[in-house]
Structure 1
Amino acid sequence: MLSFEEKKAIIDSFDELVEKPISMNRLNYHYPGSQYEKKIVVEKLHPNGNGFVYVGDLLAYKADDRGLVNIRDFSEQELRDAIEDSITYLTEVDDVVEEVTIEESFRNRSGDQLLLSFDGAFWNVSHGFNLEESFGTREDAEEYLAAEGFKKEK
């Protein structure tokens, strides 16, 4: 585990972030260039080494419902990657060069098939070309599918 000082040095290497002290000797790091209301990239970096990076709903991370991932046990490279991903996420959508399409198939016991896809903003559940439902998070979409008796195909 990286120490507080090591994490702080890594975070400080990102010139686009601004350090803001908060209570209990913790630090937040703001990204003034954010194109969204959300400006904090690193939250509550604590002298014990704990802290969070905002990654929104990026698929590469298991974030909490606020879009935060805990960095307590991150390596230097994991921390750098998370911060870079966060800054990219908070930058204008037009700046994103690569778009990834995610589609997964779900079936129920009757053999009916639904497709879960991500369009860059929403998780959509479709039957053929017909949109059934649209959700803000993958978790909500998967809960809906499970409640309707659908399981992910392998």
Structure 2
Amino acid sequence: MLNFEQKLEILESFPTLQRKNVSLGRVNFHYEESQSDKKTIALHIHPNGNGYIYAGLLQGYDLDEKGYVNVREFTAEQIKTLVEASIRSLSNDGEEGESESEGVREENHFYDAEVWINGEEESLTLTRDEDLWYIYTGPSIEMVFGTLQEAKEYLWEEGFSPSRD
């Protein structure tokens, strides 16, 4: 496990991130150039070694309800890779072809319907039709968004995460 100083050194090596000291000796890192309302890339990096990196728009990570990954046991390379992918995912402004990062579904590609589930086992379906992103509750439309990023942020904020089935 990397110690607090090692994790800070990795995060401080990204010139686009701004360090923000918070309570209890913890440190956050913000990405002010984010094309989303989400600005916090690293959350509560703690002297005890704990900390979280935002991966809400990425696939293949064990996320908490807010879209963060606990990086307590991550290697330096794993943290660097995750931070780079997170920055890229938040750099996509929804224009076609903007995101070329692996693990992030691009908006100009075909998008199958994706089921999202919350803690009460309720499900919503995210799908694309033409240039809009639809969230369905059963056969009824719950919300419509202009970008995939907005739709996913809404789902995360409502406590849903992608079904692993």
Instruction: State TM-score, norm by structure 1.
Output: 0.67
1:121 Cα deviation from its structure 2 partner: 5.6
1:93 Cα deviation from its structure 2 partner: 3.0
AA matched with 1:8:
L
The separation in 1 between residues aligned to 2:46 and 2:2, in whole angstroms, is 12
Tell me which residue corresponds to 1:73: 73
Tell me which residue corresponds to 2:10: 10
**Correspondence 1:94-133 to 2 at 5 A:** 94=95, 95-97=98-100, 99=106, 103=112, 119=128, 132=139
Name stretches of at least 5 consecutive residues in structure 1 with no aligned partner.
105-115, 126-130, 144-151
Q: Structure 1 residues 3 and 36 mapped into 2: Cα distance closer, same or farther (>3 Å)?
A: same
- 1:100-126, Cα deviation, whole Å (9 max, x unpaired): 65658xxxxxxxxxxx8865966779x
The separation in 2 between residues aligned to 1:77 and 1:19, in whole angstroms, is 20
Tell me which residue corresponds to 2:94: 93
Q: Which stretches of structure 1, 4 residues or more, deviate above 3 A after TM superposition?
A: 100-104, 116-125, 131-143
CA contact (8 A) 1:134 1:141 kept: no
CA contact (8 A) 2:41 2:86 kept: yes
SS at match of 2:23: coil
Q: Structure 1 residues 88 and 123 mapped into 2: Cα distance closer, same or farther (>3 Å)?
A: farther
AA matched with 1:93:
G
SS at match of 1:2: coil
1:142 Cα deviation from its structure 2 partner: 4.4
Identity within the alignment, %: 31
Q: Structure 1 residues 140 and 42 mapped into 2: Cα distance closer, same or farther (>3 Å)?
A: closer
The separation in 2 between residues aligned to 1:59 and 1:121, in whole angstroms, is 18
Tell me which residue corresponds to 1:40: 40
AA matched with 1:71:
V
AA matched with 2:74:
F
Q: How many residues align?
A: 129
Which structure has the larger Rg over C-alpha atoms? Answer: 1
- 1:58-97, Cα deviation, whole Å (9 max, x unpaired): 2121111100110000011110111111111111233213
The separation in 2 between residues aligned to 1:122 and 1:59, in whole angstroms, is 20
Deviates more, 1:91-100 or 1:25-34: 91-100
Name stretches of at least 5 consecutive residues in structure 2 with no aligned partner.
114-124, 143-151
The separation in 1 between residues aligned to 2:53 and 2:39, in whole angstroms, is 11
The separation in 2 between residues aligned to 1:101 and 1:132, in whole angstroms, is 21
SS at match of 1:58: coil
The separation in 2 between residues aligned to 1:31 and 1:140, in whole angstroms, is 23
The separation in 2 between residues aligned to 1:82 and 1:64, in whole angstroms, is 15
